[in-house]
Amino acid sequence: MSMFDCIIVGAGPAGSSAAYHLAKRGHSVIMLEKAAFPRYKPCGGGVSPAVQEWFDFDFAPAIAAKVDRVGFTWKLGDPVSTNLKTQPMWMVQREVFDKFLVDKATEQGATLQDQTTVNGIKFNGSAWQVSTDKDPIEAKYLIAADGAKGNCANWLGLKSSPNHISMVLDLPEAPQATNIANFDFGSLKNGFIWRFPNGDRTSISAAILANPKGKPQEVQKQISKYAQAIGLDPSRGQMYEHPLSLWSDNKPLHGQNALVVGDAAGITDPLLAEGIRPSMFTGVKAAAAIANAIAGDSSALPEYSSIVHQAWGEEYVWAQRLSGLFFKLPGVAYKVGVKRPTAAQIMSQILCGQTRYTDITDKAIKTLKRSFLPGQG
C-alpha cells in the first residue's frame, strides 16, 4: 500500500492549491481525480485576480480573457453598463486553468493519479486508508476536495451544504466584445443569468440562489431564451448542469486528521455565486494547517475551520441577508441597487477582495428596505 503525508481527493482549484503548497513545503502528496486530465468542467469561468497573491507564479498562461466592463439588464431590457475601476476580472476555461494548477503542483513534487474513483475512506487510528478502483492508498492526513457532488464530507461525518441548481451553456464562438461580462436579472426567478467571454467561446450561466429546490428545466429554458434574445443559437452549444454548494452556516470543516475544502466545504458565495477564489483560499489554508499539524501543532486543524469562518463565513451571513432581500422584490432592487453607478464597482471590489460585505451591506439593506415601503422610496 502506497503511503503519503496527505491524500487529496479531487484535483480542482481547491485540491490543486492545497497540493501545490504542501508539496512546496516538502511533503509527499497525491491527488486522486476520477476524471482524466485535462477534463472539461462546467463553469462560467470567472476568477478574481486576487488569487495571484497566494502563489509565486504567473497565471497569465491560464487566462482566456480579461473583463474590464460590466453590463446589467432587467429581463433583457433597461440596460446599464460601466467600466471597472479595479483590476480586470479573469475569464478561464476550466480544462486549461485546472490543468495549469495541477501541473504547478506536480512540478513541486505532488503526484496526480487521475481516472481513479474513490470508493471509501477509513481511519485506522494513525492514518487514513483510501480505497479506490485501483490500489488502496494510505496517508496520515486527508483533504476532501471532491466537489459539490462528492461523498467525502459525508463519509467524514461533516455537515454538507444544500446544492442549488445551476447550469451553463457553452457556445463554440467568440463573443463580439471580449472584455465585457453581462448579468441579467428578472428572467430567472430567485436567481440570475450571466454571460462571460471565454476566449474562443462564450459561456452563458444561470443559477437559482434563493431557493435550493428550483427546477433545472426552468433554468435551461431561461438560458436558451437569453441566448436567442442576444442572437445566439443555443443548439450550437452544449448545456451542462452543475450544482452550486452555497455557504449556509459556520459548520466544522475539520475531522480526525482531515479537512474539507472548496465545493465540498460549501464555500460558494450565496449572493454572487463566486466559487473559484474562495475554493483556492481554502486549499491554501488547508495546506498550511496540515503542514503545521505534521510539525506537531495539535490545534492546526480546528484552527483551519476558524480561519475559514472568519474570512468567509461571517461575510456570507451578510451576503445571505442581502440576497434574501434582493430576491424578495428583485425589480425594485434592480432599479434602486443594481442600476446605481456604484453597483458594478462595489461588486468588482468584493470579487477582488478590496471591499467586504460587512462594509456595504448595512447601507444597502437600509436602501432596499426604504424602497420596499410605500412612500419611502
286 neighbors 257 (Cβ within 8 angstroms): no
Q: H/E element holding 241?
A: strand 238-241
Q: For residues 334-362, give the mean pLDDT.
A: 84
Per-residue pLDDT at 375: 41
Per-residue pLDDT at 1: 62
What SS3 state is found at 89? strand
**Pick the residue with more confidence: 350 or 32?**
32
Residue 376 confidence (pLDDT) above 60: no
pLDDT one-digit tens code per residue, 258-284: 999 999 999 999 999 999 999 999 999
260 neighbors 304 (Cβ within 8 angstroms): no
Instruction: Give the confidence band of 357 by pLDDT, cuts at 50, 70, 90.
Output: confident
Q: For residues 301-323, give the mean pLDDT.
A: 93
Per-residue pLDDT at 374: 45
DSSP class per residue in 139-206 = EEEEEE---TT-SHHHHTTPPPPPEE-EEEEEESS--S-TTEEEEEESSSTTEEEEEEEETTEEEEEE
Residue 367 confidence (pLDDT) above 90: no
pLDDT one-digit tens code per residue, 120-176: 999 999 999 999 999 999 999 999 999 999 999 999 999 878 899 999 999 999 888
Domains of the chain: 2-40+93-160+246-316 (3.50.50.60)
Residue 372 confidence (pLDDT) above 70: no
Instruction: Give the confidence band of 226 by pLDDT, cuts at 50, 70, 90.
Output: very high
Per-residue pLDDT at 368: 67
Characterize 201-218 residue by residue with b for buried, 16 or more Cβ atoms within 10 angstroms of its Cβ, and e for exposed: bbbbbbbbbbebebeeeb
Residue 212 confidence (pLDDT) above 60: yes
Per-residue pLDDT at 340: 83
